[in-house]
Amino acid sequence: MTISRAEAAQALSDIDTTTGRSRTFGAYRVTGPILMLWGVIWALGYTGMGLWPVERWGVVWGVLDVVGVALTILLARRRSGTAAATAASSVAAWRGLATALVIMLFLGASFAIFQPTDQNAYMTFPVVLAGFIYAGIGIQRMPRLIWIGAAMAGIALIGFYAFQPILPFWLAVVGGGGLLAGGLWLRSA
Amino acid sequence: MAELNEMIHQPLRLKIMAALWAERSGGAVEFARLKKVSGATDGNLGSHLTVLEKAGYVEIEKDFVGKRPRTRIAVTPAGGKAYRGHVEYLRQVVEGLDR
């Protein structure tokens, strides 16, 4: 039996499509628990911002970020199978950490330039930024992240314009809960 | 010159092998996930997996997680070799090197 060039091209295209779907589902499986972890961290962090004065916010987020990054690296390694996959996941985790540091530097630079005096703007901007970053990653690699990112940014903006008196708790419950739900959605893929 | 592998060339079996090959570094793949990736129904996927298992191209493990039954599938070394050979054949046909 022989096949035509068109049939062979179609078969190769099917292989590419299946391989891409497989990688996307694999990425969802790794990303889901990490997103859930950050949902909890965000909930704790914004609850802290609601309960404590602004002078303590840096300490709260400093501790939570260190714990979050350490657990993220552990989760990324745990989800791998073989030694080669674990090594690849470690590299990906460190790249993710470097990317997170770049984003934090961007946030710091933005605050230094614009010097927001409104604490609500200070609280909301990182969530909106994270939402758009998730949506961008979603467009590139993981379509479900488009919806999660859009929901995050939308929830933060609704809170900023409609629920300012309870904004930190809004971001803790709705934003953190949204990330948790998004993580569950990814994990179920 | 690589050769056509008729066992793998069947469309669903090709998708199954492509998915298992892409996932090989992460270990065995759960049946439910393979079903999502391949877009197959339970019965269809099960019957084609049986064909591939009989050919020695995949290994199927069945166990329990708590009380929930779990089926996991992995590509065997023979399956990997056959899949790579078939992909090579397809490339040669597309590039016109098979004549």
Q: What band does A181 get if pLDDT is binned at 50, 70 and 90?
A: confident
CATH dotted code for B6-94:
1.10.10.10
Interface touch A82/B14, C-beta < 8 Å? no
pLDDT of residue A82: 57
Q: Where residue A83 falls among pLDDT bands split at 50, 70, 90?
A: low
The gap from C-alpha A169 to its chain's centroid, in whole angstroms, comes to: 20
Domain ranges of chain B: 6-94
What is the rounded average pLDDT of the residues A89-114? 81
pLDDT, tens digit, 9 for 90 and up, residues A6-36:
999 999 999 999 998 888 888 888 888 888 9
Residue A116 in tokens: 């927001």
The confidence score (pLDDT) of residue A80 equals: 57
Of A9, A25, A80, the CB nearest to B37: A25
pLDDT digits 0-9 by tens, A30-76: 888 888 998 999 999 999 999 998 888 889 989 998 899 888 888 87
**3-state helix, strand and coil shares in percent for chain A, rounded to the nearest 5:** 90, 0, 10
> Residue B90: which of A8, A80, A88 has the nearest Cβ?
A8
> What span, in angstroms and rounded, lies between the C-alpha atoms of A134 and A10?
33
Residues of A in contact with B38 (CB under 8 A): 18
Q: How many other CB atoms are there within 10 angstroms of residue B70's CB atom?
A: 14
> Most A CBs within 10 Å: which of B12, B14, B93, as the mutation test of the A interface?
B93
Q: What confidence score (pLDDT) does residue B98 get?
A: 59
Segment of A107-111, A127-131, B56-60 carrying the highest mean pLDDT: B56-60
Cβ <8 Å between A1 and B6: yes
Q: Is B11 on the interface with A (CB under 8 A)?
A: yes
Answer whether B90 touches A (CB < 8 Å).
yes
DSSP string, A36-83: HHHHHHHHHHHHHHHHS-GGGHHHHHHHHHHHHHHHHHHHHHHT--SH
Contacting residues of B for A19, CB less than 8 Å apart = 18-19, 21-22
**pLDDT tens for residues B65-97?**
888 899 999 999 999 999 999 999 999 999 886
CB contact under 8 A, B19 and A19: yes
In angstroms, how far is CA B54 from the centroid of its own chain? 12
Environment class of residue A186 by beta-carbon count within 10 Å: exposed (0-12), middle (13-18) or buried (19+)?
Answer: buried
- Report pLDDT digits (tens) over A138-174: 898 888 889 989 999 999 999 999 999 999 999 999 8
Q: In this complex, do B23 and A26 lie within 8 Å of one another by their Cβ atoms?
A: yes
- Would you place residue B99 in the very low, low, confident or very high pLDDT band (cuts 50, 70, 90)? low
pLDDT band at A101 (very low <50, low <70, confident <90, very high): confident
- Note the pLDDT tens digit of each residue in B29-60: 999 989 988 889 999 999 999 999 999 999 99
pLDDT at A87 > cutoff 90: no
For residue A12, the chain B residue with the least C-alpha distance is: B90
User: Which pLDDT score is estimated for A81?
Assistant: 55
- Residue A78: count of CB within 10 angstroms of its CB: 11
SS3 label, residue A125: helix
Looking at CA atoms only, how far is residue B38 from chain A in angstroms?
A: 7
